[in-house]
Amino acid sequence: MKQRQKVAIIGTGMTAFGDLYEYEITDISNLAIFEALRSSKVSRKLIESLYVGNMGSNVFENQENLGNLISTYSGIKSPSFKIQAAEASGAVALRTAYKNILSESKDIVMVLGVEKMTETTKQPELQHALATGLDTMWETKMGATMGALFAIMAKSHMKKYGTTREQIAQVVVKNHNNGAKNPKAQFHNKLTIEKVMNSKPVATPLNLFDACAMSDGAASVILAAEDVAYSYDSDPIFIIDSKQGFAPIALHQRDSLTEFSGTKFAAEKLYKDHSISNKDISFAEVHDIFSISEIIAIESLGLVPVGEGGKATEEGVTSLDGEIPINTSGGLKARGAPLGATGIAQAIEVYEQFKGSAEKRQVKDINYAMSHSMGGSGGTSVVTLYGRGN
């Protein structure tokens, strides 16, 4: 038998993102899990493994056996474990599940990304949870926050490439426009460049509206081996490949403040291994944890020329009707960013676009799509490539 090369997404489920305080983490998970099972008509008994992407269950739920907990309370009752790579936890979980199917040990598995951030209402606890993605010794202990590090990147990008504050704010405006068209997005309100620039400062030049918000949510996909996928879906959407790239955890250890080198490595490897170019990518979901992050990400992914991410955004290249729509879901900013759930939510947006069910945010003539997720300030990067079977 031929070695498996790709893996299909045969079911998806997702809660609306936002404030789900009244639910337990197991309830939030089950909402996504049951929807994925129902949408795929896969019986719970066929799920051979459950991969859980989550960042902060220790801080939020005192739980460090989360895979086993969710496998129990969902009734899936399959072996499970948690995968943690800060904000990239969901994307790494998806990639790990994909690899396990390639190893032929499993035919059908489930991946869940989940986070319940409202479990804590104490700001110090929340800030603590978010800072754990950074270099504890040389960033967090020295007082650096996630916002401060992205602010350094923003200033560097502005200085090096002439990127304007308005261009950075336009990322937010665009993503809120897209989020307004996504029923499951956390934010449906539209913003203007002025509103972003006049919101409360977080770390100059970044303001409150440049940052994604606290959010609860779960997203789940059912993956199947290529050879079994067609029994569930006559036109399956495939994960063609998924690459992970490395950069040093601390910003000061990196060669450049204006690129995500791990992202660049992963994307270039995808292009090369699959003999495609950036022109083959029809749209992408990228890690806009702060507005500036999207600009650097689309450059590092090779989707726009280096240094021109701000300009491209301003000119509408990345808008829904642009040349390369970015974050059609609303992105981390407007769709919402429950840490471990974001990587899976990206895959679901890609799936819906391919299936033509993205309603008012539908992209046309799709060839390939990409999702991009990062942990911390960019030390961990995962880039995943999606397409149809031939």
Give me the residues that bind a second copy (CB under 8 A), please: 1, 3, 24, 26, 49, 55-56, 58-59, 61-69, 71-72, 77-86, 88-89, 92, 96, 99-100, 102-105, 128-129, 131-137, 140, 244-246, 248-250, 253, 262, 375-376, 379-380
Annotate 274-322 with DSSP letters as a single string.
TT--GGGEEEEE---SBHHHHHHHHHHTTSS-TT-HHHHHHTTTTSTTS
What is the identity of the amino acid at 334? A
**Minimum distance of a second copy from residue 104's CB (angstroms):** 6
Q: Report residue 227 as tokens.
A: 């050879």
Contact 82, 111 (CB under 8 A): no
> Residue 142 — left, alpha, or beta (φ > 0 → left; ψ -120 to 50 → alpha)?
alpha
Of the pair 171, 374, the CB lying nearest a second copy is at 374
Annotate 334-363 with DSSP letters as a single string.
HT---GGGHHHHHHHHHHHHHHT--GGGPP
Cα first-last separation, the chain = 19
Edge-to-edge order in the sheet of strand 216-225: 50-53, 108-116, 216-225, 7-14, 237-246, 380-388, 368-375, 281-285
Which helix (H) or strand (E) is 62 found in, with range? none
**Minimum distance of a second copy from residue 84's CB (angstroms):** 4
Look at strands 281-285 and 368-375 and give their pairing. parallel
**Minimum distance of a second copy from residue 1's CB (angstroms):** 8
Q: Which residue bears the tokens 């993205």?
A: 358
Q: Which residue bears the tokens 């960033």?
A: 139
What does the buried/exposed string (b/e) look like for 144-172 if buried means 16 or more CB atoms within 10 Å of the residue's CB?
Answer: bbbbbbbbbbbbbbbeebebebebbbbbb
